[in-house]
Chain A
Amino acid sequence: MTVTDPTTGGRAERPARAARAARPKPKTWSLLGEVTRRPSVYEATAAKFLYHYRREPAPFEMSPNAPINEWYLTNREGSPFTVADWEGFRDPAKLTYSDYVMVQHDRETYLDGLIDHHEATGSVQTLDPQWVEALTRVLVPWRFPLHVLQMTSLYVAQMAPSAFIVNCANFQAGDEMRRIQRLAYVTRLLANAHGEQIAATATARDPWQNEAAWQPLREACERMLGVYDWGEAFTALNLAVKPAVDAVVNDQLTALAIAHDDEFLALLLAEFDRDAARSRAWTAALVQYAIGQDPAMADVLRSWLAVHALRADAAVAGLAELFAGAPQPMAAAQVIEAAGQARARLLAACDL
């Protein structure tokens, strides 16, 4: 077998240089095809990044039957939540990594300022002890379930079929950590002012592990950790559990804080709804995109939602009892109603 240099036909001249000069300069990556408009940086740094999705004979360059190849073939390629082309989905916020950290740098600067102000005024020290007692029950344990939301978002991220979806789920996980850490800071402020025990792990973990009000949420969270189909994990998290949690934490706890003249906590919690709104926006965009590609996807999502929404409802009902027990009580029914409406609005935005 003989071969000639395919680039020169065996002649050591400089045809490639001439060919390069004649060739039009590429507008974008060749894999994105002929384009009339140069794709944005957001698109150029995500489009077709997942070389392994639907790759033959298996996603990863391993034995086709290697354990994780089978895992992805079952839970990603084999998911009932599937459309012909996921690459067309776009995050409404169109965030690159750089955009994300810039946006959150600004928002964290705002929260730093909010904390500065309240540390200067000593507002945590002057809280009503009864309200502080309520906070240890209704606020302090949240870092446990919020951590499950962070974990599940990163499961969705590692399994999603396009980098445009991966990025949304990654940033959502970052947002969960943001919320956890600010609540941890507040927990420490409460402990410094009102008793060290507030910051003990047991003060958060015992209710999470044992108190009746928290158990339905723990069940919803733990069962969500056992969901591995990527579409079902997305449904459980972004259509059922997270919307319920966001309604309770960002919205209803804010209202409860206002009822107890706790401006600091109210403003802090309200801030997190900016992040949650971004989650709802990409969730709705993804669901709409999938249904637009294949209307049958609506029923696929509904069938999963039927299971996880029930668990989320039970979780809210459990937590609502804690609101009813606050010094300035909020009716449990009001919390349940608010969470129900929040989900209804999200599902309407999703066309579900």
Chain B
Amino acid sequence: MPRLPRSEWYDLTRDMNWDLTYVTEDEAFPPQLSNSFGVPAESWWTWDEPYKITYSEYVHNQAGKDAGLFSVNNVVSRSKIFDNLDPGWKAAIIAHYGAIAVAEYQAGIGEARMARFGRAAAWRNMAMFGTLDETRHGQLQTYFPYQALNKEPRLDWAHKAYHTNEWGIIAARHLFDDMFTANDAVSMAIQLTYTFETGFTNLQFLGMAADAMKVGDIDFGALISSIQTDEARHAQQGEPTIKVLMKEGKVDIAQNLLDRMFWRAWKLFSLLTGLSMDYYTPLEHRTHSFKEFMTEFITKQFIDQFRDFGLEKPWYWDQLLNEMEWLHHAYHLGVYYWRPTAWWSPVAGAGPAEREWLEEKYPGWNASFGKYWDVMGENIRAGHPELTLPETFPMVCNACQIPVCTPAGYAAGYLDSPLPRILDFEGRRYTFCSEPCQWVFEQSPDQFKGHLSIIDRFLGGVIQPPTIEGALAYMGLSPEEMGQDGTNYAWAFEGHPAPAAERKVG
């Protein structure tokens, strides 16, 4: 290997900052794509990445990682491992692939924005590795399900999802477009790499990787842990960006960017990860509840990092802690009830043993959320599963694009009112599920105000015919793809001995 250590020559790969003279600063770094927030060019040049890597080290490392991963996949794809996975776990990974695979590829576009419009050469270099990393993640997370398409046709959603208007995908697209594809480079460093990747991706990827190994899904576990090693590196673009803003006295800007995206990320994660951890992962393999994970990784470790940088907890902290008690239970009820609108088959996760666990982790669960499952179980046992299916649609939040669950939060005793929040703005009425969602909207109305939620489209005549069937077709769900009860209602009969004829219904 070459003799000079990286430290002796690395600075020569990152000092390419100069004064533009043939074009103006704004011509080369348009504010829409790179908001300097008033920080002078030369202050940005002090941007210093905490993690150094060279191109050579990168390709050597990554080639080794990919070789290892493809070996695992090659062996696993010839085995029966996938066929034997628990239906709840299958729901979790099919949901994951649909919501995440192609989105990660788009994160490469966001990284490329920082690699072009980041305001220091060192930053642009880090983002270039980020671009390559996200290309990797998009390709791996489509390649793995592609290999298993013949075993599970719903894995088609790993590729198709972002081309559809399925409601969860609209929510994911709305979040991720706001976070990276339609964001400027400076905001993105704080919102994508710091808030989302340093904070939430840890939760999703480390948590799921550990769960995958316990469940026996070696393929998914190896994939996700390998991806996380890249994320841990390129996520570090946020820290130096925050430091530059802080040094220039822009603490309010950094805090605002963080607060906006932290709330948005929370909403989607409670939908995706909350359900996976507390309902889809087989009980015997659960080590933490979603709330415990949130508490440990987000509200303790991540908050310590904020404070190290001189940032504070977001202003809505109490509301976050409140929602951590109940929101994902409400989402799970909603996803299960509206299961024909999901591309995966949710499991109820509400058998007697699961309920005991839920009660232990969320005291009061049986008396609040459990009672809905009581009714659904009774209807199923009585041979009327159709009563566990929807007749209309819920209202959707104009910020997070997820159904408004305030009635469930109110009924469970966590909210003072079941009503959503209403905002009349420039002649249009908007609905929000929470005060922070309304606040997110009000922080950048130009980004959001003309957008139509799926319910706005339904009521406004965009979706034709305006029926549930019409809406399902609009969402891109064919009858075979629509979610069904992942265990074929077995959960409802657990602990309820019933005549053979009746059990056949399930």
The interface of chain A, by Cβ under 8 A from chain B, is: 1-8, 10, 12, 14, 16, 19-20, 23, 25-26, 28-31, 41, 44-46, 48-52, 59-69, 71, 96-98, 100-102, 104-105, 108-109, 111-112, 115-116, 119, 143-144, 147, 150-152, 154-155, 157-158, 163, 166-167, 170, 173-174, 177-178, 180-181, 184-185, 187-189, 192, 199, 201, 204-205, 208-209, 218-219, 222-223, 225-226, 228
Which of A2, A7, A181, A199 contacts B391, CB < 8 Å? A2
Q: Which residue of B lies closest to A219 (CB)?
A: B22
Q: Please judge, given known A-B contacts A62-B447, A108-B59, whether A7 and B15 are in contact too, CB under 8 Å.
A: no
Besides A158-B112, A189-B4, 12 more A-B contacts (Cβ < 8 Å) are A5-B386, A45-B138, A48-B159, A49-B105, A49-B138, A51-B163, A101-B62, A101-B132, A178-B55, A187-B9, A188-B8, A228-B30
In contact, A7 and B19 (Cβ under 8 angstroms):
no
| B residues neighboring A (CB under 8 Å) | 1-4, 8-10, 12-13, 15-16, 18-23, 27-28, 30, 32-33, 54-56, 58-60, 62-63, 66-67, 70, 102, 105-106, 108-109, 112-113, 115-116, 121, 124-125, 127-128, 131-132, 135-136, 138-139, 142-143, 146, 149-150, 153, 156, 159-160, 162-163, 170, 173-174, 177-178, 181-184, 340, 380, 383, 385-386, 389-392, 446-451, 467-469, 472, 479-480, 482, 484, 488-489, 505-506
* Interface pair B178/A199, CB less than 8 Å apart: no
Taking a contact as CB atoms under 8 Å apart, the answer to whether B178 and A62 are in contact is yes
Asked whether, in the complex, the Cβ of B1 is within 8 Å of the Cβ of A116, the reply is: yes
Known A61-B170, A62-B177, A97-B139: A69·B482 in contact at CB below 8 Å? no
Residues of chain B within 8 A (CB-CB) of A61 are: 170, 173-174, 177, 451
B115 touches A222 (CB 8 A): no
Q: How many Å lie between the Cα of A154 and that of B458 in the bound state?
A: 39
Contact A143 B16 (CB under 8 A): yes
Residue pair B182, A26 in contact (C-beta under 8 Å): no
Whether B392 pairs with A173 at a CB distance below 8 angstroms is: no
A143 adjacent to B12 (CB under 8 Å):
yes
> Judging by beta carbons under 8 Å apart, are B451 and A62 in contact?
yes
Q: 12 pairs across A/B with beta carbons < 8 Å?
A: A5-B385, A20-B153, A31-B163, A46-B139, A62-B174, A97-B66, A108-B60, A111-B56, A116-B3, A170-B135, A173-B115, A184-B10
Distance between A332 CB and nearest chain B CB, rounded to angstroms: 23
Name the distance in Å between B414's Cβ and chain A's nearest Cβ. 29
Task: Indicate if the CB atoms of B386 and A4 lie closer than 8 Å.
Answer: yes
B182 contact set on A, CB distance < 8 A: 59-60, 62, 66-69
Tell me which of A25, A45, A166, A187 contacts B146 (CB under 8 A). Answer: A45
Closest 3 CB pairs of A and B: A63-B450, A105-B63, A184-B12
Contact between A157 and B131, CB atoms less than 8 A apart: yes
How many A-B pairs have beta carbons closer than 8 Å: the answer is 286
| Residues of A close to B30: CB separation below 8 A | 228
Question: Is the beta-carbon distance between A187 and B142 smaller than 8 angstroms?
Answer: no
Q: Whole-angstrom distance between the alpha carbons of A226 and B472 in the complex?
A: 45
Q: Are B143 and A45 in contact (CB under 8 A)?
A: yes
Minimal beta-carbon separation of A265 from chain B (angstroms) = 15
Question: Cβ of B115 and Cβ of A154 under 8 Å apart?
Answer: yes
What CA separation (Å) do A19 and B2 show in the bound complex? 61
Which of chain A's residues has its CB closest to B449's CB?
A63
Residues from chain B with a CB closer than 8 A to the CB of A1 are 391-392, 467-468
Closest to B472 in A: A6
Q: Please give, as numbers and ranges, the residues of chain A lying within 8 Å of B449 by CB-CB distance.
A: 63
**Beta-carbon contact of B59 and A144 below 8 Å:** no
Contact of A188 among B9, B21, B451 (CB under 8 A): B9
Q: Determine the distance from Cα of A187 to Cα of B127 in the docked complex, in whole angstroms.
A: 24
Given A3-B468, A12-B380, A181-B55; A64-B131 close (CB under 8 Å): no
> With A7-B479, A60-B181, A174-B55 as given contacts, are A152 and B116 in contact (CB-CB < 8 Å)?
yes
User: What separation, in Å, do the CA atoms of A49 and B108 have in the docked complex?
Assistant: 12
Contact yes or no, A201 B15, CB < 8 A:
yes
| Minimal beta-carbon separation of B112 from chain A (angstroms) | 4
Assembly CA distance A150 to B127 (angstroms):
11
Min CB distance, A165 to chain B, in Å?
Answer: 12
Known contacts A41-B143, A181-B56; A102 and B391 CB within 8 A of each other: no
Q: How far is the CA of A186 from the CA of B332 in the complex (A)?
A: 58
Q: How far is the CB of B470 from chain A (nearest CB, A)?
A: 11
